[in-house]
């Protein structure tokens, strides 16, 4: 079977220098916006505190034929950088590189698990002037999962 997407790995540097690692699943057939096409819809998947981007591998692979899917590792998790002082693992420092990532990709569907969902709720406050519509697809209290569409 031929792959309908490719993956690119990149990093975003937070304000204090710690790097956030991210896997970017990109469809092979979507015309990029820079080339006059609409580009693929973007989905940003944020994992929970003790989890990492691999939690979204199956979902990202399924969506990647038609969507651009970004799956970052949070600060201190997976392939992302770790601060020398563990006391810097504060909500604002975990959130900062996610904000930078969101600013770089524009309108997105946001999906978060556990603390990733809380980070997304913070994004709603930070980006409220850019939000024309939001859709809360499902909040399952038993697994603490959240999907919101923002554009």
**Over the chain, what is the mean pLDDT?**
75
pLDDT category of residue 130 using cuts at 50, 70 and 90: low
3-state secondary structure of 87: helix
pTM of the model: 0.77
pLDDT category of residue 1 using cuts at 50, 70 and 90: low
Chain Cα centroid distance, residue 91: 16
Of residues 150 and 77, more confidence is placed in 77
Of residues 61 and 86, more confidence is placed in 61
Pairing assessment for the beta strands 108-113 and 42-46 based on DSSP bridges: parallel
Mean pLDDT of 14-29: 88
Number of domain units in the chain: 1
**pLDDT for the residue numbered 36:** 41
Q: What is the domain extent for residue 57?
A: 5-150
pLDDT category of residue 146 using cuts at 50, 70 and 90: low
pLDDT category of residue 74 using cuts at 50, 70 and 90: confident
Burial group, residue 43, by CB count within 10 angstroms (0-12, 13-18, 19+):
buried
For residue 107, is pLDDT > 50?
Answer: yes
Mean pLDDT of 57-69: 90
Find the CATH number of the domain harbouring 51.
3.40.50.1820
What's the DSSP call for residue 63?
A: H
């Amino acid at each position: 079977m031929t792959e309908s997407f490719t993956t690119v790995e990149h990093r975003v540097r937070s304000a204090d220098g710690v790097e956030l690692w991210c896997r970017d699943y990109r469809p092979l057939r979507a015309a990029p916006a820079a080339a006059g096409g609409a580009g693929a819809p973007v989905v940003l998947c944020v994992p929970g505190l003790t989890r990492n981007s691999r939690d979204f591998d199956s979902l990202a692979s399924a969506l990647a034929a038609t969507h651009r899917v970004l799956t970052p590792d949070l600060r201190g998790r997976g392939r992302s950088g770790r601060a020398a002082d563990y006391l810097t693992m504060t909500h604002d420092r975990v959130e900062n590189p996610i904000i930078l990532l969101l600013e770089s990709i524009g309108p997105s569907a946001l999906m978060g698990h556990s603390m990733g969902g809380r980070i997304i709720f913070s994004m709603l406050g930070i980006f409220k002037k850019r939000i024309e519509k939001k859709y809360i697809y499902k909040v399952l209290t038993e697994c603490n999962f959240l999907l919101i569409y923002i554009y």
